[in-house]
Amino acid sequence: MAIITLLTDFGTTDEYVGVMKGVILSFNPLATIVDITHHINPQNIIQAAYTLQAAYPFFPKGSVHVAVVDPGVGSDRSILALKKQGHIFLAPNNGVLTLLMQNDTVDELFSIENDAFFLKNDLNTISNTFHGRDIFSPVAAHLSMGLALSKLGPPAETQDVIRASLPQPFINENNNLIGTIIAIDHFGNLITDIDAACLRHFYSCDANNRLEISIGNHKINGLADSYADIAPQTALTLINSRDHLEIAINGGNAAICLSAQKGDHVILSIKSKGELS
């Protein structure tokens, strides 16, 4: 089965996503096309990088993942084809692949330059505003039918892959763990850059201590196992399905209730039980 996933900031009110699917199916009518999301915030490369990283492991090996969040479309930025852990990724070289490039461990990496695999039209031109249609979609279709990445263009060097500047959790002068809200989902849940491994390194459950999480003027004590563990309309923190620390409101919208937005800091402190607010 040939699986092609699509991740874009195109939204679904215009024809763009449908046209991409039409191009793919024109080359490979047997392709299975899966929408990861088309509601990445416009031009938000960092959000795209985290979303791609969160989604791709749940697809079969051999899947082709197309990530088109491309504010530089039509410029001299390159387009890359990357193979890692049995998956193939197509993306502009603008930071979308940052998390996949950790430790520079990739199997294959090529620059997409061979226009034999691009969409042809009567004028034999490529749009400067819609590479999703003219380059990404036909190339993905060819790859889904078994085309070797090496046919797409010359090898690329890992050091030439652009990395986005991603926030990183850090310990401050008061020995607090400082994280950043990197995403807000459809429910208003606040997803931070603190993953479960980072949290375990910072805090080990102890009968005499408890974790306190602060965001703005709001403080939350301890971690919940699920949303339902906490009373309705109450703030909570938990480790979510992405394996990241998340702040939520049971039955409510944390972004609204806590007046929070992407980029805000979250402060984790270890308190003795007598110190808890």
Mean pLDDT for the stretch of residues 3-13: 97
Mean pLDDT for the stretch of residues 223-231: 93
pLDDT at 271 > cutoff 90: no
pLDDT band at 113 (very low <50, low <70, confident <90, very high): very high
The pLDDT value recorded for residue 174 is 93
pLDDT at 124 > cutoff 90: no
Q: Which residue intervals of the chain are DSSP H helices?
A: 16-27, 45-55, 131, 137-144, 196-202, 254-257
pLDDT band at 122 (very low <50, low <70, confident <90, very high): low
Would strands 209-215 and 190-195 be described as parallel, antiparallel, or unpaired?
unpaired
Say if residues 246 and 192 touch (Cβ distance below 8 Å). Answer: yes
Six-digit token string for 200: 């375990």
The pLDDT value recorded for residue 207 is 62
pLDDT band at 102 (very low <50, low <70, confident <90, very high): confident
Mean pLDDT for the stretch of residues 13-29: 97
The pLDDT value recorded for residue 103 is 76
pLDDT band at 82 (very low <50, low <70, confident <90, very high): very high
Which domains does the chain possess? 3-160 (3.40.50.10790), 170-275 (2.40.30.90)
The pLDDT value recorded for residue 209 is 81
For residue 81, CA distances in Å to 1, 40, 162, 257 come to 20, 21, 13, 42
The pLDDT value recorded for residue 105 is 81
Please indicate whether residue 90 or residue 203 has the higher confidence score (pLDDT). 90
The pLDDT value recorded for residue 125 is 79
Q: Angle CA(68)–CA(73)–CA(76) in degrees, nearest 5?
A: 125
**DSSP sequence for 222-275:** S--SSGGGS-TT-EEEEE-TTSEEEEEETTB-HHHHTT--TT-EEEEEEEEGGG
The pLDDT value recorded for residue 117 is 96
Residues pairing with 118 in the sheet: none
pLDDT band at 123 (very low <50, low <70, confident <90, very high): low
Which of 51-60, 100-109, 136-145, 221-230 is least confident?
100-109
The pLDDT value recorded for residue 29 is 97
pLDDT band at 70 (very low <50, low <70, confident <90, very high): very high
Q: Please provide the size of the chain in residues.
A: 277
Say if residues 270 and 211 touch (Cβ distance below 8 Å). Answer: yes
Q: What percent of the chain has pLDDT above 90? A: 85
Burial category of 65 from C-beta neighbours within 10 Å (exposed 0-12, middle 13-18, buried 19 and up): buried
Would strands 244-249 and 108-111 be described as parallel, antiparallel, or unpaired?
unpaired
pLDDT band at 273 (very low <50, low <70, confident <90, very high): low
The pLDDT value recorded for residue 157 is 93
pLDDT at 92 > cutoff 70: yes
pLDDT at 272 > cutoff 80: no
Mean pLDDT for the stretch of residues 100-105: 82
Buried b (16+ CB within 10 A) or exposed e, 118-142: bbeeeeeebeeebbbbbbbbbbbbb
pLDDT at 126 > cutoff 90: no
Mean pLDDT score across all residues of the chain: 93
How many CB atoms within 10 Å of residue 208? 7
pLDDT at 170 > cutoff 60: yes
